[in-house]
């Protein structure tokens, strides 16, 4: 029976090749998207799961002492002994910190701006990064260095480098180290990112991220409570002032508090969005399948009616439908696997993912994809068999209007999803454009040069003079850092017992000029000035009237001037209070190159650098790039929405094309009669497109509020954001409608140009 049904199914599919091709193409595209997205999302949710002690490892957070709500991943170095000696539940503790402005060099090669971590010797007891060369219990002893495989290859040409010597230059040290091990990239996603590991003894550190290994995972909450009840527990503000919190290692990747440079994080919201987008794509592909399958079934009503007349049982119809559905699904899925393997490199590049073919053997991935196939298949079987058996053989020989209405419902749902995704995509594009180009309150065309830590102040001033003399440079300042990531934060206590934490900057006479900060009141700072500049936010915070000459709250410093508010860090955060002091011995040079291209400026800056610091690696950062790194997750979201909203529209158009083809085929004689009676081609085109445009308009009515709600929630992530104007919704529906009408035109124009004689020759 199976063989007979299979033969009949293949004949039926071949006889309706247009339907078959569109169904297979639609399902294949949907399955490719689900394969890629499900594999990616499973790899994300499995972050840090490759560590064998993951269940017993907890990251330690502390309350933010600067007054912001939430927690910080910073734990002082003296907490190591407190945790390990005071509490028996803690088997071990490992702390990590970055070493700033690092360069690792050999006799032939040098690499700068690396992610070098200062760690405890117990690092590999906690984290099971695969060691491909060297290793051992002493690999992180003082005087040793562990390199990542790619950096070992970059420095020495290969990973066989154990025992070789490198020179580490950092902010506080220059030391020769022996390579003791080489580690491979993590087999799965990890929240820790590094190029090299050294022992804490290599650098001058005073704290960092901390992880504890507990004797039993169930002890974490009780231990946290005991620690926070200890009034003598050490803290940044004194004994008993800071609470500590334990979070499982497997949650570190999704923690919004992990903002250290060596930590890679992902918002749980984006994982949810990923699954929703995957579901919507499959929703559209599935609706296409159901819609087209039922259209296909409608063209074979007489065949089914004859079968029922001849006594075919419900079981027989069920078996035939199951075979037919199975052929479609498994043929489409086989095609999708081949396409998926070809698409993985493109997907990884566009979304900066790390999906590999190994994930298709993952139990979670196989379970999810299997469930998708089962749901898709069983839905079609139930719908088709129920409809076939419910109708009498006589009804199967006549026109059925209920199917048309049902198909119209599916069609409307498809385009509702497409329009909603398009609204989201247009909104995201506008917000990302706003983030990239909106005024920051300061000049974003800035290059920061980081002077060598051992450089004399006079040499830094010489470099400033040489750079300032270049024709491609407008202004140069020596300062503490830039507004995006070069500020420091302090806590000032007020007389009423409260406190505030302003951002602190310092720079020379050219600081405001280089950054194009606007002085709205008072006077500029000079070498002989007494006092400091503040921003308007600080003035509003304390409601200061005539602020120039008044004391800065919480300090003894006098306000010499007020600068216009400017963005610090990113648009995700409100503008903080800012204090700017005069200081001409900073280690950073900010270079204003406005009006000139980077390709023109960078070689000139490098030549001037080498003329002053010939032995040091040229280190720089571009402020615009630093700013966009703050929006890495949003860029990821932006790429997903663009890619898959496009896919949703394409899938909807597959269904639209097939539906228009079926309607046109069914009404061929009607159109011939209309043309004989004087109807023009435009009249017939309007008649055929009216049904579909009404459905698209109805889809927009439901899609608009859904898109508005979703994007309103997303935009709350930003302190500075666009408004969701009405034209966004109008543009979205126009885009979808234009694509839909063009798709319809492929069939309807052909139908309107058909000679009525050909349509009616059999009558």
Q: What is the pLDDT of residues 227-272, one digit of tens each?
A: 999 888 888 777 888 899 999 999 999 988 888 888 888 888 888 8
Lowest mean pLDDT among 307-316, 495-504, 556-565, 588-597: 307-316
Q: How far apart are CA 629 and CA 626, in angstroms?
A: 5
Q: How far apart are CA 459 and CA 130, in angstroms?
A: 44
Q: Mean of the per-residue pLDDT values for the chain? A: 83
Q: What is the pLDDT of residues 445-462, one digit of tens each?
A: 999 998 887 788 899 999
State which of 275-284, 513-522, 687-696 shows the largest mean pLDDT.
513-522
pLDDT of residue 297: 63
Q: What is the pLDDT of residues 198-209, one digit of tens each?
A: 999 888 778 899
Q: Which tops the pLDDT comparison, 721 or 390?
A: 721
> Which residues are bridge partners to 98 per DSSP?
117
Count the Cβ atoms, other than its own, within 10 Å of residue 605.
23
Work out the pLDDT band at 26, boundaries 50, 70, 90.
confident
Lowest mean pLDDT among 141-155, 219-233, 731-745: 731-745
- Region 681-687: what's the mean pLDDT? 75
Q: How far apart are CA 153 and CA 363, in angstroms?
A: 34
pLDDT of residue 696: 86
Residues 6+ away with beta carbon under 8 Å from 593: 445, 446, 447, 472, 473, 474, 601
Question: 182, 129, 175: which is closest to 153 by C-alpha?
Answer: 182
Q: Which tops the pLDDT comparison, 436 or 247?
A: 247
Q: What is the pLDDT of residues 621-673, one digit of tens each?
A: 899 888 888 888 788 788 888 888 888 888 877 777 777 776 776 677 777 77
Q: How far apart are CA 309 and CA 659, in angstroms?
A: 29
Q: In Å, what is the CA distance from 685 to each residue of 8, 455, 694?
A: 37, 77, 14
Residues in the chain: 763
Taking the model in full, what pTM does it have?
0.79
Whether the per-residue pLDDT at 403 is higher than 80: the answer is no
Q: Which residue has the tokens 């700068």?
A: 112
Phi, psi (degrees; rounded to nearest 5) at 429: -60, -45
Q: Which tops the pLDDT comparison, 284 or 538?
A: 538
- Region 528-539: what's the mean pLDDT? 92
- Region 306-315: what's the mean pLDDT? 61
Q: Which tops the pLDDT comparison, 242 or 309?
A: 242
Q: How far apart are CA 262 and CA 197, in angstroms?
A: 12
Residues 6+ away with beta carbon under 8 Å from 262: 96, 98, 115, 117, 192, 193, 194
Q: How far apart are CA 533 and CA 527, in angstroms?
A: 14
CB of 241 closer than 8 Å to CB of 67: no
pLDDT of residue 316: 64
- Region 46-53: what's the mean pLDDT? 90
pLDDT of residue 759: 60
Count the Cβ atoms, other than its own, within 10 Å of residue 321.
23
Question: 610, 617, 611: which is closest to 453 by C-alpha?
Answer: 617
Q: In Å, what is the CA distance from 510 to each residue of 119, 486, 551, 589?
A: 39, 17, 24, 11
- Region 101-123: what's the mean pLDDT? 88
| Structure token pair of residue 326 | 């199975």
| Structure token pair of residue 279 | 């579901």
| Structure token pair of residue 423 | 């609204």
Q: Which residue has the tokens 């606007």?
A: 518
| Structure token pair of residue 532 | 């400091």
DSSP 8-state assignment for residue 575: P
What percent of the chain is predicted at pLDDT more than 90? 33
Q: Which tops the pLDDT comparison, 164 or 38?
A: 164
pLDDT of residue 275: 85
3-class secondary structure for 2-67? Answer: HHHHHHHHHHHHHHCHHHHHHHHHHHHHHHHHHHHHHHHHHHHHCCCCCCCCHHHEEEEEEECCCC
pLDDT of residue 244: 92
Helix 314-351 to helix 301-309 angle (10° resolution) is 150
User: E strands of 283-339, at which residues?
Assistant: none
Q: How far apart are CA 444 and CA 634, in angstroms?
A: 20
| Structure token pair of residue 87 | 């509490």
- The three-point CA angle 590-594-595 to 5° equals 155
Q: In Å, what is the CA distance from 208 to each residue of 142, 259, 342, 642, 656?
A: 18, 12, 42, 38, 57
pLDDT of residue 406: 45
pLDDT of residue 659: 72
Q: How far apart are CA 272 and CA 316, in angstroms?
A: 42
- Region 113-142: what's the mean pLDDT? 92
Question: 575, 501, 569, 553: which is closest to 68 by C-alpha?
Answer: 501
User: How many angstroms from the chain centroid is the CA of residue 66?
Assistant: 28
Q: How far apart are CA 343 and CA 362, in angstroms?
A: 19
> CB-hemisphere CA count at 13 Å for 678?
0
- Give the containing element (helix H, strand E) for 460: helix 457-468
pLDDT of residue 367: 75
pLDDT of residue 350: 76
Residues 6+ away with beta carbon under 8 Å from 246: 58, 59, 60, 61, 212, 220, 221, 223, 224
Count the Cβ atoms, other than its own, within 10 Å of residue 745.
15
Q: Which tops the pLDDT comparison, 159 or 16?
A: 159
What percent of the chain is predicted at pLDDT more than 70? 85
Lowest mean pLDDT among 283-292, 295-304, 535-544, 570-579: 295-304
Whether the per-residue pLDDT at 389 is higher than 60: the answer is no
Q: How far apart are CA 199 and CA 212, in angstroms?
A: 18
Q: What is the pLDDT of residues 736-763, one digit of tens each?
A: 888 887 777 766 666 666 666 666 555 5
Phi, psi (degrees; rounded to nearest 5) at 51: -80, 125
| First CA to last CA distance, the chain | 40
């Amino acid at each position: 029976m199976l063989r007979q049904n299979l033969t009949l199914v293949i004949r039926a599919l071949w006889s309706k090749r247009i339907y078959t091709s569109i169904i297979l193409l639609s399902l294949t595209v949907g399955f490719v998207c689900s394969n890629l997205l499900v594999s990616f999302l499973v790899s994300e949710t499995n972050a840090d799961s490759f560590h064998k002690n993951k269940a017993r490892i907890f990251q330690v957070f502390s309350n933010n002492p600067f007054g912001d709500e939430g927690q910080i991943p910073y734990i002082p170095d003296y907490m190591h002994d407190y945790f390990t000696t005071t509490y028996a539940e803690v088997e071990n503790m490992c702390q990590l910190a970055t070493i700033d402005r690092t360069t690792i060099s050999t006799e032939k090669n040098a690499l700068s701006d690396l992610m070098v971590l200062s760690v405890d010797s117990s690092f590999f007891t906690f984290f099971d990064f695969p060691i491909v060369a060297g290793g051992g219990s002493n690999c992180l002893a003082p005087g040793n260095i562990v390199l990542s495989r790619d950096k070992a290859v970059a420095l020495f040409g290969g990973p066989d480098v154990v025992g070789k010597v490198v020179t580490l230059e950092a902010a506080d040290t220059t030391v020769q180290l022996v390579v003791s091990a080489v580690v491979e990239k993590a087999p799965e996603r990890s929240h820790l990112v590094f190029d090299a590991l050294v022992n804490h003894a290599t650098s001058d550190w005073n704290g960092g991220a901390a992880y504890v290994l507990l004797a039993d995972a169930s002890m974490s909450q009780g231990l946290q409570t005991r620690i926070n009840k200890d009034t003598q527990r050490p803290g940044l503000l004194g004994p008993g002032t800071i609470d500590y919190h334990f979070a499982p290692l497997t949650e570190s990747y999704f923690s919004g508090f992990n903002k250290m440079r060596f930590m890679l994080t992902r918002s749980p919201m984006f994982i949810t969005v990923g699954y929703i987008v995957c579901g919507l794509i499959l929703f559209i592909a599935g609706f296409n399948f159901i819609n087209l399958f039922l259209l296909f079934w409608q063209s074979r009503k007489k065949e089914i009616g004859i079968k029922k007349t001849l006594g075919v049982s419900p079981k027989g119809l069920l078996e035939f439908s199951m075979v037919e559905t199975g052929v479609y699904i498994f043929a489409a899925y086989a095609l999708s696997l081949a396409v998926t393997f070809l698409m993985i490199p493109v997907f990884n590049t566009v979304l900066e993912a790390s999906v590999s073919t190994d994930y298709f053997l993952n139990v979670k991935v196989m379970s999810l994809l299997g469930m998708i196939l089962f749901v898709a298949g069983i839905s079609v079987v139930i719908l088709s068999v129920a409809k076939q058996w419910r109708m009498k053989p006589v009804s199967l020989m006549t026109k059925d209007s209920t199917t048309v209405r049902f198909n119209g419902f599916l069609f409307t749902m498809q385009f509702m999803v497409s329009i909603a995704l398009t609204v989201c995509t247009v909104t995201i594009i506008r917000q990302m454009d706003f983030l990239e180009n909106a005024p920051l309150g300061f000049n974003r065309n800035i290059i920061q040069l980081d002077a060598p830590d051992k450089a004399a102040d006079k040499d830094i001033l010489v470099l400033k003079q040489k750079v300032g003399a270049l024709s491609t440079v407008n202004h140069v300042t020596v300062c503490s850092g830039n507004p995006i990531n070069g500020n420091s934060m302090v806590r000032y206590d007020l007389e009423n017992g409260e406190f505030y934490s302003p951002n602190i900057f310092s720079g020379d006479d050219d600081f405001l000029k280089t950054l194009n900060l606007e002085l709205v009141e008072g006077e500029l700072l000079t070498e002989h000035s007494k006092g400091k500049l503040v921003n308007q936010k600080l003035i509003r915070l304390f409601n200061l009237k005539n602020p120039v000459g008044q004391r800065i709250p919480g300090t003894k410093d006098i306000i010499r001037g007020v600068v216009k508010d400017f963005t610090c860090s990113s648009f995700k955060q409100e503008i903080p209070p800012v204090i700017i002091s005069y200081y001409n011995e900073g280690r950073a040079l900010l270079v204003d190159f406005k009006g000139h291209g980077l390709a023109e400026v960078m070689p000139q800056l490098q030549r001037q650098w080498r003329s002053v610091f010939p032995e040091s690696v040229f280190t720089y950062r571009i402020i615009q790039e630093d700013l966009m790194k703050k929006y890495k997750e949003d860029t990821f979201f932006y790429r997903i929405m663009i890619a898959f909203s496009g896919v949703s529209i394409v899938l909807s158009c597959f269904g639209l094309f097939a539906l228009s083809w079926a309607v046109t085929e069914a009404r061929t004689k009607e159109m011939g009669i209309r043309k004989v009676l004087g109807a023009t081609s435009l009249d017939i085109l309007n008649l055929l497109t009216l049904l579909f445009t009404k459905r698209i308009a109805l889809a927009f009515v439901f899609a608009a509020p859904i898109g508005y709600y979703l994007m309103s929630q997303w935009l709350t992530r930003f302190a500075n954001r666009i408004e969701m104007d009405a034209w966004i919704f109008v543009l979205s529906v126009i885009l979808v409608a234009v694509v839909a009408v063009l798709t319809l035109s492929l069939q309807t124009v052909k139908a309107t140009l058909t000679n009525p004689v050909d349509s009616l020759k059999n009558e």
